[in-house]
Chain A
Amino acid sequence: MSKERVIVIGGDAAGMSAASQARRRDPELEIIAFERGAYTSYSA
């Protein structure tokens, strides 16, 4: 079975918090985050 694939739309507070927690829980996940702008986590 291939790795489970997580797509995150939005790289600010909620998106990046979710991505980092998912990574901590499961190092095997493939996580790809998309952000429209040039900055991430600017309200986090």
Chain B
Amino acid sequence: MQNLETGKAWWEPYDQLMVATGAVPIRPDVSGVDAEGIYGADTIKTAINIIEILDRKQPERAVVVGGGYIGLEMAEALVLRGLKVSLVEQAGEVMNTLDADMGALVSAALEEAGVTLCRRESLQGFDVHNGHVKAVITDKSEILADLVILGMGVRPNSALAKQAGIPLGKKDAIKVNDRMQTDIANIWSAGDCVESFHLVSKKPFYVALGTVANKQGRIAGINIGGGNATFPGAVGTAISKICEVGVARTGLQAKEIENLGLSYVSSKIKSKTRAGYYPDAQDITVKVLAESGSGRLLGGQIVGKGGAAKRIDVLATALHAGFTVQEMIHLDLSYAPPFSPVWDPVLIAIRQVIKKI
């Protein structure tokens, strides 16, 4: 251990060790990346730092690199503060954990919120003037920037574990069993630094979200305290928003299903969040993906306003249960006009996909 204020270093003996070192933002290996004005969005300290810069320097132009949920949420925050915001996205649409047809709805929402979206542009480097970032250089353009936010994903902070000889797995995340035990006796791990198990693909995967981290940490703690608990895995559920538009996904997206060599059918429907005649009924788009033949639900995605995205939890629960879409058609979901159409939008999508099984 080392005290970061005094520099004092010492050894701390343990009987049980919990490694919860989390994840760190990916910093691209491009010229100028260490210039002032370029921030990842990972810790409270960074956030406070960014707010202080916004207050003190009053930057006018911000560029967000990466259109995942960090990029989306930071773009929203900066637009709401009145900055001129551009977002650089390598793919054709933002939120590439959704299929492109659903991602397109999110791209449109970003543009509607006033963000300039630079699609299919990849970061090449930064133009730096007097040590401070001046512009973001992509393969297609140069975008002036007083402030840059990196939302290019995270990687497990597993260097310490690796040094200690703890075996790593997917994306260099720490390998753990279902009790959250590493391969080394008395060393436990959980959260953004570990490899997880995907309950739909039945394969290891890497997920860096607080939902999973809290559950895994709980299991590790019970076991460290002498109990016996296991964590079965996750289905890859995530939710975010850009201004009024909520975005959620669970399970496998089309390209993940294809990579597994499974064949699938999908449906995508547009409905309302409330009975159509009820005030403030908002648009909701639901996409579901199911295995051809068996009808096993494989994944779902939702984009829409007015709390639409939280409906993803029905699909996430169905994935945990291993439901087929044929089984889901009878789900007794709640209805009254202020809450839902009489056929819940999720069930409308399920009805449509059943026709294609």
User: What's the least CB distance linking B250 to chain A, in Å?
Assistant: 20
The listed residue with most B CB atoms (<10 A of its CB), out of A22, A32, A38, is A22
Cα separation A15 to B192 with both chains bound (whole Å): 11
Contact A18 B210 (CB under 8 A): no
B19-A9 in contact (CB<8A): yes
Interface pair B214/A24, CB less than 8 Å apart: no
A35's nearest neighbour on chain B, judged by CB, is B20
Q: How far is the CA of A21 from the CA of B43 in the complex (A)?
A: 24
One digit per residue, 1 when the CB lies within 8 angstroms of any chain B CB and 0 when it does not, for chain A 19-38 equals 11111111001001010111
A14 and B45 form a contact (CB under 8 A): no
Name the prevailing secondary structure of the B interface residues: mixed
Which residues of B sit under 8 angstroms from A26, Cβ to Cβ?
Answer: 225-226
* Residues A17 and B226 in contact, CB atoms below 8 Å apart: no
- Find out whether the CB atom of A14 lies under 8 angstroms from the CB atom of B191: yes
What is the total number of residues of chain A having a CB less than 8 Å from a CB of chain B? 33
Tell me if A's interface is mostly helix, strand, loop or mixed: mixed
Q: Are A14 and B43 in contact (CB under 8 A)?
A: no
Name the interface size band of chain B.
35 or more
List CB contacts (< 8 Å) of B28-51 with chain A: 43-45
* Contact call B43/A8, Cβ cutoff below 8 A: no
Asked whether, in the complex, the Cβ of A25 is within 8 Å of the Cβ of B213, the reply is no
List B residues 4-28 near A (Cβ within 8 Å): 4, 12-22
Chain B contacts for A16, CB-based, 8 A: 217
On whether the beta carbons of A9 and B225 are closer than 8 Å, the reply is no
Q: A24 with B14: in contact, given A15-B191, A17-B213 (CB under 8 Å)?
A: no
Chain A residues with CB under 8 Å of B301's CB are none
Complex Cα spacing A14 to B210, Å:
8
Report Cα–Cα, A6/B19, bound state, in Å: 11
Indicate whether B321 reaches chain A with its CB closer than 8 angstroms.
no
B160 touches A37 (CB 8 A): no
By a CB distance below 8 angstroms, the chain B residues around A32 are 12
| A18 adjacent to B224 (CB under 8 Å) | yes
Query: Which of chain A's residues have a CB closer than 8 A to the CB of B1?
Result: 34
Note all chain A residues with C-beta closer than 8 A to B226: 25-26
- The answer to whether B18 and A18 have CB atoms under 8 Å apart is yes
Q: Which positions in A face B, CB cutoff 8 Å?
A: 4-26, 29, 32, 34, 36-39, 42-44
26 A-B contacts, Cβ less than 8 Å apart? A4-B16, A5-B14, A6-B224, A7-B18, A8-B18, A9-B20, A12-B20, A12-B213, A13-B191, A14-B192, A14-B193, A16-B217, A17-B214, A17-B217, A18-B217, A18-B220, A18-B221, A21-B224, A22-B221, A22-B222, A24-B225, A25-B224, A29-B224, A34-B12, A37-B44, A37-B45
Q: Which 3 A-B pairs rank lowest in CB-CB distance, beginning with the nearest? A: A25-B225, A21-B221, A14-B191
14 further A-B pairs in the complex, CB-CB below 8 A; given A14-B214, A18-B221, A29-B225: A4-B16, A5-B14, A6-B224, A7-B12, A10-B18, A14-B193, A17-B190, A17-B213, A17-B218, A18-B224, A22-B224, A22-B225, A38-B45, A44-B210
